[in-house]
Amino acid sequence: MPFELPLPTPFKEQGWKAKIQEKERVEEPHVAIIFKTKRWRFGLRRRTWLDKLPKPKEVPKDVVKAIMDGMEELCREWDKKYPLNPVSGVESEEKNDE
Partner 1 sequence: MSNTTFVIDRPSSRKRVSFSPTARRLCSKDQISGAMPTARKGDLWIVLARSYVNVFLKSTRWPVQRKLGNLLVLDDVPCSLEVPLSFLFDRIAVTHKGATLSLAELAEVVSAENRGGLFISGTVNKENGTLTLWRGNLTPLVVPLSAFQPTGNGERPDFDRFTITDYGQTLRFGDYEASADAVLYEYDPDYRRTLNAQRRASEKGFGPSLRRLRMQKGLRQDQFSGLSAKTIARLERGKSSRPRGRTLDLLAKSLGVKPEEIETY
Mask for 44-73, x = binds partner 1 (CB under 8 A): -------xxx--------------------
Between the alpha carbon of residue 77 and those of residues 86, 94, 97, the distances in Å are 10, 22, 25
**Among 57, 64, 60, 17, which Cα is nearest to 39's?**
17
Which is closer to partner 1, CB of 72 or CB of 98? 98
Bridge partner residues of 37 (DSSP): none
Residues 8-27 interacting with partner 1 (rule: CB under 8 A): 17, 19, 21-25
Please tell me the distance from the alpha carbon of residue 13 to that of residue 28, in angstroms, as a whole number: 29
**Residues near partner 1, by CB under 8 A:** 1-2, 17, 19, 21-25, 32, 34, 36-39, 51-53, 79-84, 93-94, 96-97
